[in-house]
A and B are shown apart, each in its own frame.
Chain A
């Protein structure tokens, strides 16, 4: 059992939790993820490692409540326990083990969509700690869903905000803001790192391909074991089948077959909706119905 030692609400339906898991904290590196099982009946779901504290033995995760498992987790409180918490999984980001002098020469733009800001934060911080200032775009549907803005400003050279409804920052999608910065304002980047919904990463890659900027994406396909044992996480990268949990999760975005990946994400949609319905029936506290 793994204790939730701290919980914070970041935005509606987005929570941050520090989990006591010393072995994971001790080995974690930027770019890696964990697999969590909430309770006895729970499924195995992957979540990015957003931060870790080796001294306290804690790992920070940020969860967007969207379906039955993430809602169950988000509903837990400080002092509660997660049944299972395993990691760190996947390969660390390439720059972690690269020649630091080479890394320093790169002008990097991070593009974070929605809850993707959480995994981008420790990466931006890693660059900051190595004396490199990076630019970050945080995009969300609306102002109140922008998370970690203050934290990001402390570690990034520039932070730009985009909201779909224009309620804060640039009015439009992250790709619109990228064009504004790169095409209209003439900013130059050698590397884009995009983390967010699959559909956002697809469009970022279409744009950066056109602009000729190398792009790394962190793929989030459906996973089960997260150790290379099931093949549920298959993605096509450069015409080869890869297992995202062991070969990734980060890949060269220009080589990823996003259309296939998007289709595969919908594979259990019917079952997920069914389960969500069951969950609601169980927890329904409404007054109507029961009396007849």
Chain B
């Protein structure tokens, strides 16, 4: 075996998978996982661990896999993460743990994410109970939002003995994992739901259909419902539009609308009531994970799809694996292209999109070279649907209804090094603090805030609540 080469992983054939919503990547078999795990050098200084935002003890769990001790591997994961089956699938590993893997210097890094996924899937399939909690301490914590940040914070606090209730605005818990990321990357029934069930096994209560800021407020939770602290993990769910002419024509959707209809509301299934409009020629504007997901969803619903992105392939913010899969599936890319107008027909439906070619100019604040329009390069792409995947920002509802909660100029909630906001006892983390980022960063923030909340409550009220 070549130590510098990864054990290949099987995927659904592209021709086949564009006709269904089943998972693209099929995962390792036990033998494959053990072979891949054996590549790990078990480095003493294990740089990989420090580059995982939740500090999973990577060499330790991988060693268990190498020795066929899959249950033990899952227990190592459970020490640090509530969502291993999710992160193993959607983490941008190449930017995190795998980026600094020692094997990556001369060859291919260990497939840490794929091994994490393997151990988590194995534990689920074998009904391993990973719930370990301390004695109840009687303190109540409210968690707003059930995305990765909220789930992690709730799970960590429950393990410490806290009485935790999650309040979720939507009818299904999971945040972006449920409404945004599609089935073919992250199966809901088999992967997301069981991880949420694990949370309930830890004693966490989940109240869906509660919009904090409308149904209840942060103040009413603290003052009337007796919560000792609140964690806000409400994400960055507000979609951006470009502000160009024709954006309100019929057939122009935000990626959030399109993906919510398809994923959360299951519009792709005949037996569900929510309608979805796909059209036959679709332009998706943007280049992140959201754009890839919207494009590949539209493709599976039967459309021909273009991704329109104003920079080059090198700058695409999406995960490398997703871009690779999108290309294999036949998504067409128009790089260095920017829409300037959406043109409609007389009934108010999209007919085409007018674009402009771009070239890369001087670097901007982010260090990336800024795209500048090429004069006279306008052209039209005939499409009947346009999906805007331009990024999102935090919903202003909670700051607007909570006095003394500071936000910055990007509408993100400001926190200190413990995850505490400008309001005492109110903590926050995840996309609502950073703007749209990643699952694993949101989890890292949830973890940090759980520690901050634990410290805050114990310093203020002691080790146990008075009965």
Contact = CB atoms under 8 A, between A and B. Distances in A.
Interface of A: 23-24, 27, 37, 41-44, 68-69, 83-89, 224-225, 227-232, 234-236, 241, 246, 260, 263-264, 266-268, 271-272, 275
Nearest to A230: B257
A268 B171 contact: no
B96 interface: no
Contact of B397 (A69, A86, A246, A268): A246
Contact of A230 (B169, B210, B260): B260
A24 B207 CA distance: 13
Contacts of B397: 227-228, 246
A268 B241 CA distance: 21
Contact of B215 (A37, A87, A267): A87
A83 B208 CA distance: 11
B254 A227 contact: no
A266 B333 CA distance: 31
B247 to A, nearest CB: 7
B97 to A, nearest CB: 31
8 contacts: A41-B273, A43-B274, A43-B275, A84-B171, A85-B209, A87-B211, A246-B397, A266-B250
Interface in B192-215: 208-211, 214-215
Q: Is the interface of B mostly helix, strand, loop or mixed?
A: loop
B215 A27 contact: yes
A228 B238 contact: yes
A224 to B, nearest CB: 6
A229 B265 contact: no
A43 B220 CA distance: 30
Contacts of B256: 229-231
Given A43-B265, A229-B395, 7 more contacts: A68-B273, A69-B273, A88-B214, A89-B211, A229-B260, A231-B254, A268-B277
A73 B209 CA distance: 18
A229 B248 contact: no
B169 A227 contact: yes
A86 B237 contact: no
Given A224-B265, A229-B237, A86 B348 contact: no
Contacts of B238: 228-229
Interface string B217-230: 00000000000000
A181 B171 CA distance: 46
Contacts of B254: 230-232
A241 B254 CA distance: 13
Interface residues of B, number: 36
A283 to B, nearest CB: 14
Contacts of A37: 171
A68 B214 CA distance: 28
Interface string B274-292: 1111000000000000000
Contacts of B210: 23, 86
A225 B253 CA distance: 14
Contacts of A275: 273, 275
A23 B216 CA distance: 7
Nearest to B348: A263
Interface string B237-257: 111010000011011011011
Given A41-B272, A230-B260, A232-B257, A267 B237 contact: no
Contacts of B459: none
Given A42-B273, A86-B169, A241 B215 contact: no
Contacts of A236: 248
B260 A43 contact: no
B239 A231 contact: yes
B253 A263 contact: no
A210 B17 CA distance: 59
Nearest to A83: B171
A233 B419 CA distance: 34
B239 A88 contact: no
B5 interface: no
B325 interface: no
A275 to B, nearest CB: 6
A84 B395 contact: no
